[in-house]
Each structure stands twice: as C-alpha cells, then as structure tokens.
Amino acid sequence: MDSDDDYNSGMSSQEDGFEEELQESGDDSMGEDFEDDEPDMGFGQDKDIMKPRKKAYEVDYRIYRPEEIIEQQDKQIEEVSAILGQPSEASAILLRYLRWNKERLVESYMDRPEAVLEKAGLGPDGGRAPRIEPVPGFTCTICFEDEPGAQTYGMKCGHRYCVDCYRQYLAQKIQGEGEAARIQCPKDGCSRILDSKSVDLLATANLKDRYETLLTRTYVDDLNNLKWCPAPNCEYAIECGVKRQELNKIVPTVTCHCTHRFCFGCTLMDHQPTPCSLVKMWMKKCEDDSETANWISANTKECPKCGSTIEKNGGCNHMTCRKCKHEFCWICMGLWSEHGTSWYNCNRFEEKSGLDGRDQQAKSRRSLERYLHYYNRFANHEQSAKLDKDLYNKTEKKMISLQTSSGLSWIEVQFLQTASQALQQCRQTLKWTYAFAYYLARNNLTEIFEVNQKDLEMAVEGLSEMFEKQTAELSGLKVDIMDKTAYCLQRRVILLEDTAVNLKTGEQTPCGLN
C-alpha cells in the first residue's frame, strides 16, 4: 500500500498549528511566492507541499527546535486521545505503533478496537489503574525476594514485580539498550508496552529525561518528512515534504539554523546539482576506482582479446593473458604468433592484428581516462576548498594585525569572510558538477551545462587567485573581491537553476537515473 500518501494526509492537519512559524523559520522568500502561478514543473499533484518558488533548485522546509518537536508530538497525542477516548499514555503507544498516521489509526481503531490495542501492545486490560503498592505474601519472580511489605508494581496486564527489579529493568532498557518506544512488560511472552505513566511512577529524573529524549528521537525517525540535522551536537530537526520517489528529479538541500547545509534526501553534505542516487553511485565508484585507476592508467594495458587488465612484471614483451591465454606483444598489442620465433624486440607497427589490438586498448583507455578526467576535477575542488579555507584563516590573522597597523575597521575586513564563504560554497557545487557530468550523455543540454560549469569555474579560480595576494594588497582589492564574490554566487545560482529545471522536467536525464 502507499503509506506515503496516507502519511502525508496525516501530517497536513498538524501543519496548521505551525503556520505562523512558517514565515520566520523558513527561507525569507517563502511567504510571497505562494500565490505566483509559476509554470508547473510536473509536480502538480503535490502543490500543497512543493509550493512554486523562485528557484527551481530550492525546496520548502522548516526547522524545529527539540521543544517544538515535543509539542508537536504532544498535540497529536492529545488529539487522538480526545477522539478515541483513550488516556494519553495509551494514545501515544497507539500512534507510535502506526507511525503517527492519525487517520489510519482512528479508522482501524473504530473498525476493530480490540485488535488494534492488542497489536499495539495494549492488550487485555486488568481494569485497575496501576500503582506502586505492597502485596501480602508476594514473591518477585525476577529476584525471588519475598520480604514482607516490599513495594511492587505491575501494569494493566497484571504482571507484578518488586519495584527494585522493575526499576533495574527500565534502567537496562533505557540506558543500556537505548530503547524507549518498545519496552515491553518484563514478563516473558507478554507484549504489553510500557507506557509513559509507568515510567513517571518508577524512574528517576535522569532516566525520565533520557526516556523522553529517546522517544523524541524515534518520533523524528518514524516520520519520513522529518530528519535530524546530521551536524555534530546540533539539536534541530528539519521538515521537508520531498518524497523518496522524487529524489531523481530534485536535490532537496536545506540549511539548518546551525548553518550546516545538507541534502534532506540522504543527509549527506550539500551535493547539488547531483541527485542522491548518482552521488551514491559516484562515491562507490570513487571508492572502488580512484586510487587504483590512476595506477592502472600508468602501469597496465588491457588484453586485446578479453579486456582483462594486465600489469607487465618483467622485461619480456611476450605476454600471455592469464585469463584467456591470448598471446600478444606488449609493444604493438598484436598477435605474438605473427612475430615468429626470431623476434625479440618488436619493431612492427603496420600489421592488422596490432592495429586491432591497439584499437581495443584505446577504447578501454578512453573510458578510464574519461572517468579520471571527472574524478581529478572533483577531487581537485575538494582539495582547493580546503586550501582556500586555510588561506582565509591565515589571512584573517594578518587582517587583524593590519587592522591595528593601517587603521582598517573590523567591518572593512568582513568582505573577506563573505568571499571565503562564497568560495567554499561554489567549490562544493563545482565539485559535484563533475560527478554529475560524468553521468551525462553528450547533447546540447550537456554542452550548456558545461558552459555554465566553465563560467563558474573561471569565476571561482579568479576569486581564489585574488585571495592569494599579499595581505597588504588585499585592502586595495576590496571592490574587486566584492564584485567577484557576487559574480561567483550569481554564476552558481544560474548553474543550479538551469540544471534543476532540466532535471525536474526530465529534459536532462543522467545515465543511471530511471
């Protein structure tokens, strides 16, 4: 079944409450553009989520603080509690069981309440509200202690244990195993889920906090349109409506309040304009190939018959392919048999078999060279971005000393910070354009893409060069650097925009996407 659709309809009602925050926590341009009747990019059916925006490569998203996530959860729990007449701790368990799909929960509950309760872990109900109390003649079946007057606890399933055991069980589950939403009654075979009320009664404040944190984490993990910002120590979660099946047509890139910019689809660092699946393919390829590819290119040839890669390990030019036993000459790639027995050094060039062999060789070389072409540029921008950053850090120190010696104000130094950030961002984009280009077929759109790529690259290298100037010259270059920075950013937007539109409309489909 199509759970995505169900799920989204479930979310829409909850969005109402956050309407006000939409304006402030999203991007500035979000508010005004909703009314515009921009050309539909083929996402007509998702109009409520994919609101038409200025830039084709941007997506709508919202950033939530952890408290907001908790509020959001609580609100839904209260709503369901009111509809079903179940206490809120039970409603929470029901909602988690159906991954917060409210509509489906209400529907199936109305249909067969017992079955739903049973499956969610709220099975047969003893009726009495659970509480901590001593029970006469009680022996705990976990520790076998039978001290009279010992406090005991049991949930509605009626399985009672001494409070000490229950507490230790909770601590083991919550702290030891990081479990919260699916902690069951300690009785073997009983699938009753431990509710928050029981945790309140039993757990220490510390443990309760941990329990809440874990629950919030599962809440975000359970929902397809919510994700935690992957930056270390960042607490924010981001909501974005782009669905998994749209990821071939859009690269949903979001920027968290913590400034971390990442792809909502795969949570990797910003990889625009390359779609997630290509990023995966590319990274796999690089992992497998890049180290060895360079070496292979320099030291090996392919067998002219079967294409196996062969390394020459001795001086003799008489090669026998290990795989297909084809015998050939390393120098001319022709059949060895045509050399006769008297040949020691190869001085033949014109023979047909040699030509064919070299042809085959050239073909397989070309594909390797093609890959290396893109890979080297990809890697180069990654490296350059690091160097640019180092350079900026050094420059920043110099600027501080310049500030004191030449009387420049702090504000006047800020253009360098802006330029440095622009450089980083543009290099990140450039880097990924090379992975993207590797998967493009040769056609007009690819040519346009390459022109855009070249323009951005030239602008970036220009700016990067200005950065390398002596500190003393930098203040004189201020206007130039500011101009170049603006130009770089503009080129980046143009490239991203063009690529995103073509990807969305399906005009340009890289190989490997279907």
Determine, following the binding rule CB under 8 A, whether residue 187 of this chain makes contact with another protein: yes
As measured in angstroms, the least distance from the Cβ of 128 to another protein is 21
Q: Using the rule CB under 8 A, give the single segment among 114-122, 182-190, 200-208, 437-445 that binds another protein.
A: 182-190
Looking at the Cβ atoms of 144 and 410, the one nearer to another protein is 144
Determine, following the binding rule CB under 8 A, whether residue 48 of this chain makes contact with another protein: no
User: What tokens were used for 479?
Assistant: 């206007």
Q: Using the rule CB under 8 A, give the single segment among 187-195, 283-291, 320-328, 398-406 that binds another protein.
A: 187-195
User: Distance between CA 420 and CA 410 in Å, rounded?
Assistant: 16
Instruction: Give the chain's radius of gyration (CA, Å).
Output: 32
As measured in angstroms, the least distance from the Cβ of 165 to another protein is 7
User: Distance between CA 406 and CA 81 in Å, rounded?
Assistant: 68
User: Distance between CA 58 and CA 52 in Å, rounded?
Assistant: 10
Which residue from 176, 232, 315, 340 is in contact with another protein, where contact means CB under 8 A?
176
**Site size with another protein, rule: CB under 8 A:** 21
Looking at the Cβ atoms of 184 and 272, the one nearer to another protein is 184
Of 467, 466, 463, residue with least CA distance to 491: 463
As measured in angstroms, the least distance from the Cβ of 14 to another protein is 31
Coil, strand or helix at 259: coil
As measured in angstroms, the least distance from the Cβ of 172 to another protein is 4
Which residue from 38, 177, 291, 465 is in contact with another protein, where contact means CB under 8 A?
177
As measured in angstroms, the least distance from the Cβ of 164 to another protein is 10
Of 146, 152, 186, 155, residue with least CA distance to 169: 186
Which residue from 111, 188, 287, 311 is in contact with another protein, where contact means CB under 8 A?
188
Looking at the Cβ atoms of 12 and 172, the one nearer to another protein is 172
**8 Å CB contact between 395 and 466:** no
User: Distance between CA 490 and CA 324 in Å, rounded?
Assistant: 55
**8 Å CB contact between 215 and 209:** no
**8 Å CB contact between 191 and 236:** no
Active site residue 240: no
Position 226, amino acid: L
Contacts of 80 (CB under 8 A, 6+ apart): 86, 91, 94, 95, 102, 105, 106
**8 Å CB contact between 374 and 438:** yes
Looking at the Cβ atoms of 177 and 507, the one nearer to another protein is 177
Give 184's strand partners. 193
Determine, following the binding rule CB under 8 A, whether residue 391 of this chain makes contact with another protein: no
Task: Give me the residue label for tokens 């599962």.
Answer: 218
Looking at the Cβ atoms of 105 and 194, the one nearer to another protein is 194
Q: Which of residues 151-170 bind another protein (CB under 8 A)?
A: 159, 161, 165, 168-169
Which residue from 144, 148, 205, 442 is in contact with another protein, where contact means CB under 8 A?
144
Residue 340, Ramachandran bin (φ over 0: left; ψ between -120 and 50: alpha; else beta): left
Looking at the Cβ atoms of 137 and 176, the one nearer to another protein is 176
Residue from 165, 185, 316, 426 carrying the catalytic annotation: 316
Give 230's strand partners. none
Looking at the Cβ atoms of 161 and 378, the one nearer to another protein is 161
Q: Which of residues 195-224 bind another protein (CB under 8 A)?
A: none
**8 Å CB contact between 237 and 167:** no
Which residue from 121, 154, 186, 510 is in contact with another protein, where contact means CB under 8 A?
186
Which residue from 12, 172, 320, 443 is in contact with another protein, where contact means CB under 8 A?
172
As measured in angstroms, the least distance from the Cβ of 169 to another protein is 5
Looking at the Cβ atoms of 189 and 315, the one nearer to another protein is 189
As measured in angstroms, the least distance from the Cβ of 183 to another protein is 10
**8 Å CB contact between 452 and 445:** no
Which residue from 21, 107, 133, 145 is in contact with another protein, where contact means CB under 8 A?
145
Looking at the Cβ atoms of 172 and 299, the one nearer to another protein is 172
Classify residue 93 by burial, with Cβ atoms within 10 Å: 0-12, 13-18, 19+: buried
Annotate 490-501 with DSSP letters as a single string: HHHHHHHHHHHH
Helices 66-84, 3-15: axis angle to 10 degrees equals 100
User: Distance between CA 467 and CA 402 in Å, rounded?
Assistant: 16
User: What tokens were used for 46?
Assistant: 């998702």
As measured in angstroms, the least distance from the Cβ of 90 to another protein is 21
Task: Give me the residue label for tokens 């020459």.
Answer: 312
Position 76, amino acid: Q
Position 136, amino acid: P
Looking at the Cβ atoms of 72 and 152, the one nearer to another protein is 152
Q: Using the rule CB under 8 A, give the single segment among 124-132, 188-196, 369-377, 504-512 that binds another protein.
A: 188-196
As measured in angstroms, the least distance from the Cβ of 141 to another protein is 6
As measured in angstroms, the least distance from the Cβ of 214 to another protein is 14
Q: Which of residues 113-142 bind another protein (CB under 8 A)?
A: 141-142
Which residue from 179, 212, 222, 338 is in contact with another protein, where contact means CB under 8 A?
179
Please identify every residue annotated as catalytic: 316
Interface with another protein by CB under 8 A: which residues? 141-145, 159, 161, 165, 168-169, 172, 176-177, 179, 184-190
